[in-house]
Amino acid sequence: MRGVILLFLAFTFSHAESFITKEEYAAGLYHNPRGVGCHLCHGEKGEGKLIARYRDKGENKIFAGKPIHKLSFREFYDKVNSRIIGMPRYYLTDTEIQTLYYYLHREEFKSAAQKPRKAQ
């Protein structure tokens, strides 16, 4: 009986689908990587976002999240892993960084995947 149960569980788990899609995981990570979502400072599509206007020594200033949607993967990776004033330190894994980059460029990835390959 134990063997039948183990065989059933192995079969069930080998054919189980993920709980969430790649897009859902990427969106969740972008909106809450470690408590403070990227969208709060960088905008919903990574276009950048005004965070605050303030006066310092009589001068008008702004604090804004920079656009991140047009960065190359290397630039994106380096910026996420560097200490930037005003940006929380997330200590993301390489897979999480790749997933965030995918989130910002998902439409490009999808359209590239749909293009027919050139015959060689």
Q: Which of 17-26, 57-66, 89-98, 109-118 has the lowest mean pLDDT?
A: 109-118
Q: Would you say 79 and 92 are in contact if contact means Cβ atoms under 8 Å apart?
A: no
Between CA 51 and CA 1 the distance in angstroms is: 62
Residue with the larger pLDDT of the pair 115 and 91 = 91
What tens digit of pLDDT does each residue of 7-56 get? 454 555 555 566 889 999 999 999 998 888 999 999 999 999 999 999 99
- Please report the pLDDT score of residue 119 as a whole number: 65
Between CA 5 and CA 90 the distance in angstroms is: 42
